[in-house]
Structure 1
């Protein structure tokens, strides 16, 4: 995979997936900063980022020791499972079967918890832990996505750049607005990311077992189109099967 198409798809997948995860983590960090203090919020977030960086530095070089075909197969299967998890939730939300995630509601819930802890002597510590957990949990998913979409074909740098761009964008916009990024079409992004990760997974699993894809890298586009058509068909079927429910990809 040395062409322009896989590079663009790698950067795009890492950017969109990281953007969604960073938005969710930022909502909690913002709640801590606004409700309690920015000191525990920033300390908790910084410690989580440091731990994530240490994990990458510790385990990243080990990937070079794994044969490429085994790497492609294992990463491909994991991406299929990971992508299908995102895709399943996005399909159910688009069909109105489960509720859309609301960053404003998540912000309100977190601030309510922090207000209840205001009189606790450990309030700053608990606030810092909340920020730490949010950044760490969402960050682990970002690290996995970056390694998965980049390592199988030596494009970890491009995937990292996509994730970094998402992090910088969310931080700049979020800190400028000082409010949750509630207008982000999160479910639409998760739908697209689910499609991309699943498509990557199918492509690399095939390469791992020796499949010769027609069109080489361009086969990714065809796989994406097929998975997308199947997913939209499932959304339409669910909507018709549950006419009382409403939802949409517009959010």
Structure 2
């Protein structure tokens, strides 16, 4: 029972945090579209994309049950590891100052200005608002779908907890968006991406090992050890990258 809770707990956490990041980025664009072009078309576009994504999750979840488990674990684990390392790499470079931090307030202003350039909004239905909200929700939501499916595919009974984590993140962001009506600029997005990169990398490594019939020393609890290892390694790399960044100007 303990091992199942270790697996389910990390699955829910990884899914929630990853979905939270993507939902915040989608919310920024939807708020910009709605405030300039009108809320009705923007909200319908976003809701339509969410409905499509839910259908994709249901379809893929059913299809994955027909694939041999070890092949699924190896394939999904490899993709999840690559996905997690990409997030972790960007988070490390941002923390080290190599690339700028993502600014939701600046993104909101940029998207608001882009919407204004499309001219005055129509009185009723706005195709531009619908398309913009639908596209951004599908774009960010597709990454959420991949994460949920990847986390939930490797072990029976994990898809539902991973899905619940994603739904919880969506509801939190929707609630904050309705209350604040502005981008969530204070959300520590780079910190979240750093944590998510560690979690996804750990999950990916675990599934690759499972797919290769590697017997982890403590079964599911090995995920926690992998998380700790990736976290320590990433935290050690940040100052090294920062020092390299500071040394570059002096050598040019």
Q: Per the shorter chain, which TM-score range?
A: over 0.9
SS at match of 2:126: helix
| TM norm structure 1 | 0.93
2:23 maps to 22
- 2:219 is matched with which residue: 216, 220, 237? 216
Let me know the Cα RMSD of the aligned residues. 1.8
Q: Which residue of 1 aligns with 2:228?
A: 225
Report the Cα offset of residue 56 of structure 1: 2.1
- Which of 187, 192, 212 aligns to 2:190? It is 187
What are the Cα deviations for residues 5-64 of structure 1, in whole angstroms up to 9, with x where unaligned? Answer: 111100000000000000000111111111110011111102211221222233321100
| CA–CA separation in structure 1 for the residues paired with 2:27 and 2:225 | 35
Q: Deviations over 1:182-217 (max 9, x none)?
A: 000000000000000000000110011010111111
Tell me the equivalent position of 1:204: 207
Unaligned stretches of 5+ residues in structure 1: 246-251
Matched, 1:46 2:47: yes
Q: 1:120: Cα distance to partner?
A: 7.4
Q: Cα offset for 1:227? A: 1.1
Hey, what does 1:249 align to over in structure 2? none
Matched, 1:136 2:101: no
With structure 2 as the length reference, what TM-score do the two structures score?
A: 0.93
Structure 2 unmatched ranges of 5 or more: none
Runs of 4+ more than 6 Å apart: 120-123
**Deviates most, 47-56 or 138-147:** 47-56
- The number of aligned residues is 245
Match of 1:236 among 235, 239, 247: 239
Q: Is 1:77 aligned to residue 75 of structure 2?
A: no
Contact 2:37–2:121 under 8 Å retained in 1? no
